[in-house]
Amino acid sequence: MADSRPTKCLVIGAGPVGALAALYAARRGWDVEVYELRGDLRDESTTPLNFTKSINLALSERGINAMRQSGSNALLETVLLETVPMHGRMIHGKASPGLTEESQQYDVHGRYLRAVDRAILNKVLLDEVEALPNVKLHFNQKLTGADVRKRKAWFEEQSTRKPQTADGAQAHLAQDKSRSHEIEVEFDLILGCDGAHSSVRYHMMKSVRMNYEQNYIDTLWCEFTIPPVTPTSHTTPSARHGFATSPNHLHIWPQSDKMFIAIPSTDKSFTCTFFAPAADFTSLEKYPDGFLPFFQANFPGVADLVGHAELRKQFHDNPHLPLISIKCAPHHYGSAGVILGDAAHAMVPFYGQGMNAGLEDVRVLFEHLDAQPSNTQGRAKALEAYTAERVPDAHTINDLALANYWEMHAGVTSPLYLFRKKVEEFLSDKLPVTGFATQYSRVSFSNQRYSEVAKTVDRQGKILLGGMLGTVLLPVIGWAAWWVWRYRQTSHNPTYAAKGFANLTKLWESIGRVFS
C-alpha cells in the first residue's frame, strides 16, 4: 500500500549526479529538496571544490541512457547540442623528420564518445530541475549531521558576505557572527550525491556496518588549456575549424609512466591534463629550468600548442591534485539512505566512466524503486536490491579504471594490445554471431553491467589466447626456444641461453597481460 503523502527526499550535492537524481525523484511526484555546499553551480564565480575546472568529461552511452530515461523529453537533446563528438584517440609522438599523429578509432561500428563541459552539463540539469514545482534548491548549505535512523538532517548556511575590516581576528569574528543558525530537516529518504569526501556517507557509516577502502595512486594531475587557433598559433596537421588539433579525438601523448591528454571543448579550446608520478611533479617544482626540456622530451608539440610561457604559468598556478579510489559496501541503510556517484565509488579518470557510472546509478536506483510499492517496506527492498546489483558493478569499474591507465599510456603503443583489439573488432564486425566485442566498446557503448563486462571479456581473452596458442604462438615460441637451445649447444656462453629463456618468459607475461 502506498503512503498517502509524497515521499520527502533530500538530495545532498547539486552536481550532475545529484541534479539528475533530483529530476528522477521529482518526476515521480516526490517532495524534493536539494542541498549544495557551494554557491549556485551555474554562477561562473562559484569556485569548484578542487579549485580547477576538473578533468573534462567524456559522456558515453550509460550517461546518455540515464538522461534518456529521466522523463524530460528535451533534456538529452539540449545536452547533446553542447557536446563535441570524439571518434577515437589521437596518439601523438615524434619520428624523423617531425611530429606524428596516429588515429585509433574507439569502435568498429562508428560509435563515439562526446566531450562535454561539466559546467554546461550541470547548468542544463539544474535548469531542468528548478523548473519543476516540487523541487527546492538550497545553495551554500553545509550538511553538519544526518541521522538515518531518526530520518533527520542538519544544515548550516555558509556565509557569502566578506567582512569589511582590516584586522584578521576581527574579520574572522565578523565572519563567524554572519553565519546563520543550524536548521533541522526531516526526510523519508536522503540521497548522498556529494562526492568522494561525502558527508552523507560519513554520517551514514555511524549506523551502517560499512566496509570502506580508500587509496591514492602514485600519480598527480594538473590541468592545462590549449587555446583556440589564432593567426600566430601552433597547430598539428589535423587542426581544423579553429581547433589547434583534431576536434574529434581524445588526444594522448603517452609515455611509460606518464601522459598528457587533451579533450576538445565547444569553444574550440582543449582542456588538458598532465598525469605523472609525484616525483616528477616534485622535480619540476624544484628545478624549474628543466620544465620546458621535460615537456619537449616527453610530450613533443605540447609546449607549442599551449605556449611556452603559458605552459609554465599554468603549471605554477593550477593545483597539483591527487587521484583517489574509493570502494565501499553497502551503499544504503534500510529505507532511509543511499549513496550514489563518487560518494559510493570514486574512481581514477582513466576510463572516463566516473560521471557515467554515477548517472547510471540514478537510473538503476529508480528502476528498483519503481519495481516496489511506494512505502517504507517497498523502499527498503528497493535499496537492498540496488546495493546487491550496484556494489559488484562499482567495484568492477573501479578496478577497470585503474587498469586502463596502462592502456592509455602504454597499451596504445603495444603491438599485442593493438593486435587483440583488431581481432576482436574483426569478429564483431564480420562475424557478429560470435558475440565478440572489445572491452572498451562494452564499457563505453553498451549498458551491460560492468561486472558482466569483466566476465565476458575474460572468457573472450581465454578463447583468443587458446586459438593463438594453437595457430601462432606455440610454433613461434618453439622456434625461438630451438634457436636458444642450438646456440647453447654451439656456444661456450650459457648465460646467453639463460637470457634467451628469460626474454621468452617476459614475452609470455606480456601476452598474458594483454589477454587477461
pLDDT digits 0-9 by tens, 370-427: 999 999 999 999 999 999 999 999 999 999 999 888 666 555 556 666 666 666 665 6
Q: Which residue has the higher pLDDT, 463 or 432?
A: 463
Q: Taking a C-beta distance cutoff of 8 angstroms, is the pair 356, 364 a contact?
A: no
pLDDT digits 0-9 by tens, 147-192: 999 999 999 998 765 444 444 444 444 444 445 589 999 999 999 9
Q: Taking a C-beta distance cutoff of 8 angstroms, is the pair 82, 117 a contact?
A: yes
Rounded-to-integer distance, Cα 224 and Cα 492, Å: 57
- Cα→Cα distances 15→90, 322, 324, 432, Å: 30, 20, 18, 39
Strand order from edge to edge, sheet including 83-86: 57-59, 113-116, 83-86
- Cα→Cα distances 492→481, 488, 500, Å: 18, 7, 15
Q: Taking a C-beta distance cutoff of 8 angstroms, is the pair 260, 201 a contact?
A: no
pLDDT of residue 96: 82
pLDDT digits 0-9 by tens, 40-81: 988 877 756 554 555 579 999 999 999 999 999 899 999 999
> What's the pTM value of the predicted model, to 2 decimals?
0.84
Q: Taking a C-beta distance cutoff of 8 angstroms, is the pair 4, 107 a contact?
A: no
Rounded-to-integer distance, Cα 285 and Cα 282, Å: 5
Mean pLDDT in the chain? 86
* Dihedral sign for Cα atoms in the order 340, 342, 348, 350: positive
Which range among 55-64, 122-131, 234-243, 327-336 shows the weakest confidence by mean pLDDT?
A: 55-64
Helix locations, 318-438, DSSP H: 342-345, 354-370, 376-409, 415-430
- Cα→Cα distances 420→103, 440, 481, 511, 512, Å: 17, 12, 24, 10, 12
Parallel, antiparallel or unpaired: strands 270-276 and 249-254: unpaired
pLDDT digits 0-9 by tens, 224-255: 999 999 988 999 999 999 999 999 999 999 99
Instruction: Identify the CA nearest to 462 among candidates 409, 400, 427, 514.
Output: 514
Rounded-to-integer distance, Cα 249 and Cα 426, Å: 22
| Locus of grid cell 569589511 | 164
CA dihedral 304, 310, 311, 315 (to 10 degrees): -170
Q: What residue ranges in 106-140 does DSSP mark as E strands?
A: 113-116, 135-138
Q: How many residues does the chain have?
A: 516
Q: Which residue has the higher pLDDT, 110 or 461?
A: 110
Architecture of domain 8-82+117-157+177-210+330-405: 3-Layer(bba) Sandwich (3.50)
Question: For residue 254, is the peptide bond before it cis, meaning its omega torsion is within 30 degrees of 0?
Answer: no
Rounded-to-integer distance, Cα 331 and Cα 447, Å: 21
For residue 352, pLDDT over 50 is answered with yes
Question: How many other CB atoms are there within 10 angstroms of residue 458's CB atom?
Answer: 13
For residue 87, pLDDT over 60 is answered with yes
Rounded-to-integer distance, Cα 228 and Cα 64, Å: 28
Q: What is the mean pLDDT of residues 22-37?
A: 98
User: What are the residue boundaries of the structural domains of the chain, listed by start?
Assistant: 8-82+117-157+177-210+330-405, 215-322, 415-515
> Cell numbers of 104, please?
585509433
pLDDT band at 488 (very low <50, low <70, confident <90, very high): low
The residues, ordered by sequence, that sit 6+ positions from 222 with a Cβ below 8 Å of its Cβ are 273, 274, 281, 314, 315, 318, 319, 320, 321
